[in-house]
Amino acid sequence: MKFIVSSKSLLSQLQIISGVINNNNTLPILDHFLFDLDSNKLTITATDLETTISSSISVDSDLTGKIAIPAKLLLDTVKTFPEQPLTFSKNENHTIEISSTQGKYALAYANADEFPERTTIKDSVNLKINGDSLAKAIEKTIFASGNDDLRPVMSGVFIQLSSTGLTFVATDAHKLVKYERSDIKTDKTSELIIPKKPLNLLKSVLLGKESDVAINHNISNIEFKFDNYILTCRLIDGKYPNYEAVIPEENPNILTIERISFLNSLKRVGIFSNKTTHQVRLKIAGTEIQVSAEDIDFSNKADERLTCSYNGIDIQIGFNARFLVEMIGNLESEEIRFELSSPNKAGLIFPNDGLNDGESITMLVMPVMLNN
């Protein structure tokens, strides 16, 4: 086995697929990249058993072969090279030798047969979606998913595919985001929960890419194919909570406010809030909103007033400042609409502008009890 490859091309592929490798693997083989050489095409694969990602690059060779190379050692080595051709040669003493213009480096490789095989998806449902659109749907929802091991279904993103559109939902029981696209449809209706790790990998690779992503899935696995990549992951098993039931329908108190000024106010005032609850108080009356926070233990206090457009009764309501900052910071609109019903019911946040045709976002945030 011998091939020549551009150091820059190799590094860019290794950096992307290395994102799947865990720091503490129970199986030593999972600390390796699988190199599969087929003439002038090299396919590199990494896996953590739950998620597998492969990428293919062009190399100069007319040979075939498979070996597993230590991921961290290879990545740390390739990072240091300026752009140049690297020659990989398999030696008799169970090492792979890398030759550069600076010198030679030998790495002990593992048997490729030990590397886990990729899951093949049978009886799959097929869909094609624009890469940037998929990345945007992930970006708008993934931050709201939970981290509770006791509720694994809420640690992923819930996706509904149907003839009426595509829906992404994420929640951690304190906040919820629903992102919908009425312009992306499928013939068959299906529901699936995808873990965060593969979605974060997809988001980092796909943002700004206009190429299509082919999606195939069955009841237990999903596969994404785009450009020279294939990502396969196991779906989270379980029934997602009925999120529609928690979205309040009657919200007569409607606040419209400039997004950036409100976001910056929440960031400043939130610094002075209690370090456990992160509670900020919103007092809304007429054309003014008062944003305040207090940490009694340390005598810290902050109070700001902002102009707004408000239609409803005077209201005081408390929220976790971190949740509001995270949610409003994830929007791109100039103005946001805050819909409220009462101090003990969830508030809804909508962007007033900045969305494409067929695109909609609903954000829900639970209130916190105010300290009088």
pLDDT, tens only, 333-345: 999 999 999 999 9
Can you read off the two tokens belonging to residue 354? 């900045």
Orientation angle between helical segments 321-329 and 259-270, nearest 10 degrees: 150
| pLDDT at res. 66 | 96
Q: Quick check: 278 pLDDT over 70?
A: yes
- Chain segment 228-266, per-residue pLDDT in tens: 999 999 999 999 999 999 999 999 999 999 999 999 999
Q: Quick check: 372 pLDDT over 70?
A: no
Helices (H), 88-207: 131-141, 196-206
Residues 207, 240 within the same domain: yes
What does each C-alpha distance from 128 to 41, 61, 186 come to in angstroms? Answer: 25, 33, 9
Helices (H), 126-232: 131-141, 196-206
Residues 83, 183 within the same domain: no
Residue range 37-53: average pLDDT? 97
| pLDDT at res. 357 | 87
Do 290 and 282 meet the contact criterion of CB atoms below 8 Å apart?
Answer: yes
- Does 349 fall in a domain? yes
Residue range 66-89: average pLDDT? 97
Q: Quick check: 137 pLDDT over 90?
A: yes
| pLDDT at res. 208 | 87
| SS3 state of residue 135 | helix
| pLDDT at res. 186 | 87
CA–centroid distance for 35 within its chain = 27
Mean residue pLDDT across the chain: 94
Do 222 and 235 meet the contact criterion of CB atoms below 8 Å apart?
Answer: yes
| pLDDT at res. 275 | 93
Q: Which residues contact 244 (CB under 8 A, 6 or more apart)?
A: none
Share of the chain above pLDDT 70, in %: 99
Domains held by the chain: number: 3
- Does 164 fall in a domain? yes
| pLDDT at res. 3 | 97
Do 255 and 310 meet the contact criterion of CB atoms below 8 Å apart?
Answer: yes
Q: How far apart are CA 190 and CA 167, in angstroms?
A: 11
Q: How far apart are CA 74 and CA 78, in angstroms?
A: 6
Residue range 111-122: average pLDDT? 92
Share of the chain above pLDDT 90, in %: 88
Q: Quick check: 125 pLDDT over 90?
A: no
Q: How far apart are CA 71 and CA 27, in angstroms?
A: 14
Among 210, 244, 278, identify where a domain stops.
244
Q: How far apart are CA 338 and CA 336, in angstroms?
A: 7
Q: Which residues contact 21 (CB under 8 A, 6 or more apart)?
A: 30, 31, 46, 48, 71
Domain containing 152: what range?
125-244
Can you read off the two tokens belonging to residue 47? 């896996």
Residues 11, 85 within the same domain: yes
- Does 310 fall in a domain? yes
Among 186, 214, 244, identify where a domain stops.
244
Residues 107, 142 within the same domain: no
| pLDDT at res. 187 | 85
Which is nearest to 271 in space by CA: 303, 226, 223? 303
At 99, which CATH number?
Answer: 3.10.150.10
Helices (H), 90-161: 131-141
Residues 129, 234 within the same domain: yes
| pLDDT at res. 92 | 87
